[in-house]
Structures are given as C-alpha cells and as structure tokens.
A and B are shown apart, each in its own frame.
Chain A
C-alpha cells in the first residue's frame, strides 16, 4: 500500500492519481474504438467530458442537499475541491442523464456508441483495482488462507489483487471480442454483466461490506440486479442483432455464410 506521496508541503493521494491515469487511458481506448466503429470521435469525447462535469456538479449538489442548513449559510462551499463532500449516487444519476441527452441531441447511434465505451470502461476498472491497491481501500475480510496479507492489523484476503486481476481478465476478454462483435451494443452489455458478476463473486471476500437485513451484502444485491438487467438487454439485442444480420444477408446473398464470418 502506498496511499500518499509527500512532495514538500504537498500530500498527493496516490489512489486519485491512479484514477486520473485510468480516466486518461480509458478515454484514449474509447477514442480509438470509436474511430474503428466509425463514430464521431470528438462528439463522443465531448459527451463524456460534459457527462463527467455534470456528474461532478450533481454529486456536489446531491451532497449539499443532504445538509441544506450547512450549505445555505455558506453557498460558496459548493465550489470547494473536496472529494469527500460528494454524493456518488447523485453524481451517477446526473452523469447518465446528461450522457443520454447528449447522445440523443448529437444523433449518435446508441448501441455502437456504447460499444465504443466498453473497452475503455473495462480498462478504467483495472485502474480502480490498482487505486484500491495503493490506498488500501476495498480491503479483504480477515482470513487464514496461506496467501493472506497483513493489512490494518489483521491477516486479510488480498481483495485488491483479486479485483485488479479479474478486471484485467475482463478487459482482455472484451478486447478479444472487439474485432468480431455478435451484435451492436453487446460488448458494452457484456462488460457491465461481467463486471457485475465479478462484484457478486468478490464482495464475499471483502471486509468493508455494507450489510442489509438478513446479512445480505448490499453490493452483491445491487450487482445481481445490474447483471439481470444486462442479461435481459443482451437477450433482446442479441436476438434483434441476429435477426437483422440474418435478414440482411439472406436478402443480399441468399446465404448465411457471411453472417458466420461476422460472428
């Protein structure tokens, strides 16, 4: 673990730097994939930038709304550069809404656009795992397995290693699929489904879970719901993709030979 780097009077949080690097690397991959899928690269970059900006503003406003009396007495604090005064859920909702509005206004094809985002998103998740490795967050549950690491005064599952390794595997799987998508939008859905499945699996080894009544881990329940939604849309889009591909080729060639190649 290497949470902070001291540079004279400055204290640099290494995890934040890793996330910034992940954002930059993810965006580069997204732009390359967008060009490959013949999507307007600058429109997509702008959409991502404005969605992030809106997400940050939404996160701050969401946090401030939790403490209206505190912020109304000092509204300038809304501009403070403090990452611990953000509401992640509010930021996510606002960011997604702005993303949807931009995609619609710029008339970008939704499913290929999502596909362009998939590999960058998967790569960003690798950096999230690495950020946890640096900060010691997302730590494992106490254990006596031979590969346990001593962290926060106990022997624990090296959950940050598990997380990084699985995220890297998902990234490689997604990249492997890039040249031969089975249908527009499926790479994105597969990324979300695999990431959710990994969270369902890995959360059981975490020592910082939030528990719901009955002892269920909140993150597992949320990830299961996301996984189910991803599968539902995969099924729908896979069917429509296959039907479109099949009918296109049947009409133009009278054979399914090329459909096999595409897949």
Chain B
C-alpha cells in the first residue's frame, strides 16, 4: 500500500459502513409488522412464554369444574404437582400463602394434580396436611399435563389477563417472593 492508498482505503471503509447502516435502516423499515403491535406472538395455543395458554376443563377435588378459558381477565397461576414430588411439597406453603394474600383480587392459583400418577387418598391427605384452600384440579387421564408438555415436577405457568403465558418455571421449589413478584408483574400489565 502506498501513502496515497491509505486515504482511499479509509474512504472505502467509510463507504462500506455507511452502506451497511443504510441497508440496516431499510431492512428494519421493510421488516416491520404494524399489525403485530399489542398482539400475541401466535394465535396457536402452546405451553410457551408469549403464547396463548392451551385451554382445559378439569374436575376439582371438591366436586366442581374449572375451565381455564372462563378465567380470562384474571391473572392465573397453574401449578402442576404430585404428592410424591419433594419440591412440590416444599413450595406448597408458598403457593397457599400467595393465594391467601391475593384472595378477592383478580388472581387465581390452580394446583393441577397429576392424578394418573398419584392416588386420591394421598392427594386428600396432602391437602389436609397443608390446609390448602386454593382449587385443586384432578388431571385423571394425564391429558392436561400432556397438553402442557410437563417434563418434570413441579412445573408452573404464570398467565396474564389476556390468557398469554408470561413465565414458565420447570422445577422448584418456588419461594413466596418469586410467586408474588411474578404475580405483581402480571398485575402491572395493562390488559
């Protein structure tokens, strides 16, 4: 390279940088999606953050029924558990405390028991032992845990008022602080 080659090299690099920036701006403009503002990432339900939570209807331990779709407009925490799962046992008091704290507000906590891998007697004594007052749902045929692709226990889904999953936590135990911070974040969201 000669002395006169240095300025020309500078110019060439400057041109490349400017061209890259212009191309980047154009690509950003071309690839924008005005219709996506405020919309969910997908209208296809999937057990993933950012997706609509798959709907289900299950019997409750006290003989009632709960349909997830009927809870639209409320913040919903869906916790999959079983009596033989140690972290589930450890996080149950935190779930109960959180439920009591938010009772009467637009927050629902659902404990979905994997009844196909559990026994009703154990479930009953578990509920008695911890004095649980939040709804316990019975997934008798494992259909809902399959729908939510539950790979390990406990698994918890935090769903906003529009029915969109915001946080998925596989494993545990969750602390009360963790549960409350996630609920507060969802309550802060403008529906």
A residues neighboring B (CB under 8 Å): 3-4, 6, 9, 11, 13, 63, 66-67, 69-71, 73-74, 77, 80, 82, 84-85, 136, 142, 152-154, 193, 197, 200-201, 203-204, 207-209, 211-217, 220-221, 223-224, 227-228, 231, 234-235, 238-239, 242, 246, 256, 259-260, 263
| B31 contacts A231, C-beta separation under 8 Å | no
Chain B residues closer than 8 Å to A70, beta-carbon distance: 177, 180-181, 184
Residues of B near A73 (CB, < 8 A) are 177
Bound Cα distance A193, B180 (Å)? 40
Size of the chain B interface, CB-CB below 8 angstroms: 47
Beyond known contacts A84-B169, A214-B32, A216-B29: 4 more, CB 8 A cutoff: A70-B184, A152-B42, A220-B28, A246-B3
| Complex A-B: 20 CB contacts under 8 Å | A4-B170, A67-B185, A74-B175, A74-B176, A74-B177, A80-B175, A80-B178, A82-B178, A153-B44, A207-B42, A211-B38, A214-B34, A215-B35, A216-B32, A217-B32, A231-B20, A231-B21, A238-B10, A246-B6, A259-B1
Whether A215 touches B33, Cβ cut-off 8 Å, given contacts A152-B51, A260-B1, is yes
User: B residues bordering A, Cβ < 8 Å?
Assistant: 1-3, 6, 10, 13-14, 17, 20-21, 24-25, 27-38, 41-42, 44-46, 48, 50-51, 86, 151-152, 167, 169-171, 175-178, 180-181, 184-185
Among residues of A, the one whose C-beta sits closest to the C-beta of B2 is: A256
